[in-house]
Structure 1
Amino acid sequence: MTPAVLGIIGGSGLYDLPGLTDLREERIASPWGEPSDSLRIGYLGRTKIVFLPRHGRGHAIPPSEINYRANIDVMKRAGVTDLVSLSACGSYKAELYPGLFVMVDQFVDRTSRRESSFFGRGCVAHVSFGHPVGPGLQARLVAAAKAEGLAHVKGGTLVTMEGPQFSTLAESLTYKALGYDLIGMTAMPEAKLAREAEITYATVGMVTDFDCWHEEHGAVDVAAVVAVLHGNAEKARRLVARLAADFPAEREPCPAGSHHALDMAIVTAPEHRDKALLAKLDAVAGRVLGRAGQSD
């Protein structure tokens, strides 16, 4: 069996994860470039934790310039099996108010400037992505939120925009009319890359504002968002601590198939695979490439 390792990607306002024991910092090299920061690796109880601040400590990296491929690659190299994304989000529904945590289960990708796959010319792969969030991991997050008495909702659709600007009113009204629940700037392509790396993924949408559709609240501004971020960050740390306390020692099979997402996904014949790309895929796809004969 594979030991379970819980990865945490901290979004805006969450640049550290206090309370880790046997803590060490490690900067893992990735063939995909530089990740957002060094990894903080330690334990919460018996659960091994790997923490990465998505924007880097000090929030130096904007959403479109995050190296999502390097971030997921180093998580994989660190042994992460289950990955929780903690993300600040705007809300399209009055009942999804600032301070609420939404355990997202669907995404809509409206980004356009980001590398969204590890695969490409020389090694083509198509993974199943109909259910992008691991149901088991989501259920554990819901149970942790209940145990901590944190206001939360199970399920929701998060649309990811390019940014870094907030939405126009027309965009906000359009997404609201389409029935989406939340908007953010970082879930994509993070979730897609996690699936390609066979890491079970889940997002906690930490609501900070009502975007700009709400007549009583008006346009989004950084000052208002930051005020909510501080409270959300403390609740996020409690959520992670509770999640870790009850986390299994061994990786559980994912009902969405994330633990074997690459089975039958690679369609390029071995004799036509690009060796340089295969070398970069050693961590992400080594399980299936090794079995198929990477050096063919």
Structure 2
Amino acid sequence: MELSALAEIGIIGGTGLDDPDILEGRTEKYVDTPYGKPSDALILGKIKNVDCVLLARHGRHHTIMPSNVNYRANIWALKEENCSHVLVTTACGSLREEIQPGDLVIIDQFIDRTTKRHCTLYDGQHSTLSGVCHIPMAEPFCTKTREVLIETAKKLGLQCHSKGTMITIEGPRFSSRAESCMFRSWGADVINMTTVPEVILAKEAGMSYASIAMATDYDCWKEHEEAVSVDKVLKTLKGNANKATSILLTAIPQIGSMEWTSILHTLKTTVQCSVILPKQ
């Protein structure tokens, strides 16, 4: 699994944000991995001559709930397709007044409240990767890739917040009001059900990972505001999905034209230095 200095982009599409029409010359590829099957077929194609691989996180028919997404297989499959970068989209709830429904957030930190998920590729059960990996997570998201996304959003005139802390809950239920208020007090800015463990696994795979989060609601902390519901989330996504798409279509050609040798080398070295191998 050698890293390339030229970017090849894996795209993981969240709820309502996984339109394959963004790719030219599409082909489908069903794969298997040491961790099982990914959420769906890989859709291979190009965005302005940059090789891309699109994967619907919840399956193309949205049949996989957040806890049951095979995050390890998804990341492994993209890595095996030689993707150096993973750009993802995700719906989220806002925990801040200033992050309004329809706004985008290029998140830079996370808080993990999940309980049922495999959070490492190095689990001692797959001979492909041996040892125990204690991956550093002070900076979970790729700073350079985030900067491209932020600048792209500005150029497109989109309402975009340049940082934010995502709290990932297990789901599939939404938060209670007490939980929503507690998460605010913890310093979380937005809330979803999928950032963890995806970002962790991408880091273990030595890939540049960045997320475009779209606020769809105010969760349930905000008084005199309608609490989050599936109908509200989908309605907001339907009206604003083109924002995330426009960022991807504009940012990916730029990412593809940039030099990534140093960053990819650093990511790879970080992984190597984080693994404690079994004693012989």
Q: What is the TM-score when the length of structure 2 is the normalising length?
A: 0.92
The question of 1:264 aligning with 2:273 is answered yes
Larger mean CA deviation between 18-27 and 173-182 belongs to: 18-27
Q: Report the CA distance between 1:124 and its aligned residue.
A: 1.2
Does structure 2 conserve the Cα–Cα contact (< 8 Å) formed by 1:63 and 1:162?
yes
Does structure 1 conserve the Cα–Cα contact (< 8 Å) formed by 2:111 and 2:165?
yes
- Counterpart of 2:226 (choices 196, 206, 218) is 218
Could you say what secondary structure the match of 2:240 adopts?
Answer: helix
Per-residue deviation, residues 270-294 of structure 1 (Å, max 9, x unmatched): 63xxxxxxxxxxxxxxxxxxxxxxx
Match of 1:290 in 2: none
Which amino acid in 2 is paired with 1:179? G
- Counterpart of 1:198 (choices 192, 200, 206) is 206
The alignment-based identity, stated in percent, is 37
Q: Report the CA distance between 1:255 and its aligned residue.
A: 9.0
Per-residue deviation, residues 107-162 of structure 1 (Å, max 9, x unmatched): 00000000000113362121111100000000010111112211101011000000
* Unaligned residue ranges in structure 1 (runs of 5+): 272-296
Q: d(CA) in 2 for partners of 1:8 and 1:154? A: 20
Match of 2:191 in 1: 183
Q: d(CA) in 2 for partners of 1:105 and 1:257? A: 18
Structure 1 residues 278-289: aligned runs within 5 Å: none
Q: Report the CA distance between 1:28 and its aligned residue.
A: 1.9
Does structure 2 conserve the Cα–Cα contact (< 8 Å) formed by 1:135 and 1:256?
no
Match of 2:42 in 1: 39
Larger mean CA deviation between 122-131 and 55-64 belongs to: 122-131
Could you say what secondary structure the match of 1:85 adopts?
Answer: strand
C-alpha RMSD of the superposition: 1.6
* Unaligned residue ranges in structure 2 (runs of 5+): 125-129
Which amino acid in 1 is paired with 2:233? V
Q: d(CA) in 2 for partners of 1:29 and 1:110? A: 29
Could you say what secondary structure the match of 1:189 adopts?
Answer: helix
Match of 2:73 in 1: 70
**Matched residue count:** 271
Match of 2:173 in 1: 165
Q: d(CA) in 2 for partners of 1:93 and 1:120? A: 37
Which amino acid in 2 is paired with 1:46? N
Deviant stretches of 4+, over 6 Å: none
Which amino acid in 1 is paired with 2:7? A
Question: Residues 259 and 46 of structure 1: is their aligned pair in 2 closer, same or farther, counting only changes over 3 Å?
Answer: farther
Q: Report the CA distance between 1:2 and its aligned residue.
A: 2.8
